[in-house]
Every structure is written in structure tokens, then in C-alpha cells.
Amino acid sequence: MSFGITELVIVLVIVFLLFGTSKLRSFGSDLGSALKGFKNEMSGDKDEEGGIKINTADHDPEKEAKKNIN
């Protein structure tokens, strides 16, 4: 069972009637800014202070443990 164009239009009209266009506009802008921030954090190469992030994927705890023992 899939939704067709008619069902989608009916659902959108009901949503507009329930929430109003001003709330939907603010919700859309909030959602857009949240997604933009998430995308920037996922692809960002710098931390908040402006320095370069250290890649911890190459981190080897066994080598560090041996280094700390010696």
C-alpha cells in the first residue's frame, strides 16, 4: 500500500490547517539550520577554536600502552 499524490495533498492540507503557515515556516528554517549544522560538523576539518582536528582513526592503544611502560 503506497501513498499517491491525492493522499499526499490531503495530508499536507491537514498539516497546514493544524499548524498554520507561520509555524511550518519556523519549523522548516529550524530544521534546515539543524541539518546544515550537522553537515558542517560531519564534514568539518577544524574544531571550534579554529585548530586542525586530530584524526583518532590511526590511534593504536597497544602502541601507546607499550610506550607508557618503557
Let me know: does 35 contact 28? Beta carbons within 8 Å: no
Q: Rounded to an integer, what distance in angstroms lies between the CA atom of residue 42 and that of residue 53? A: 12
Domain boundaries along the sequence of the chain: 1-45
Question: What residues pair up with 46 in beta bridges, in sequence order?
Answer: 52
Give the residue from 25, 30, 4, 1 showing the smallest Cα distance to 15. 25
Q: pLDDT digit of tens for each residue in the chain (70 aa)?
A: 687 999 999 998 998 898 887 888 888 889 899 999 999 888 875 555 555 555 555 667 677 777 777 5
Q: Rounded to an integer, what distance in angstroms lies between the CA atom of residue 41 and that of residue 53? A: 11
Rounded to two decimals, what is the model's pTM?
0.40
Could you read off the pLDDT of 20-39 as tens digits, one per residue? 878 888 888 898 999 999 99
pLDDT at 36: 92
Q: Rounded to an integer, what distance in angstroms lies between the CA atom of residue 7 and that of residue 37? A: 33
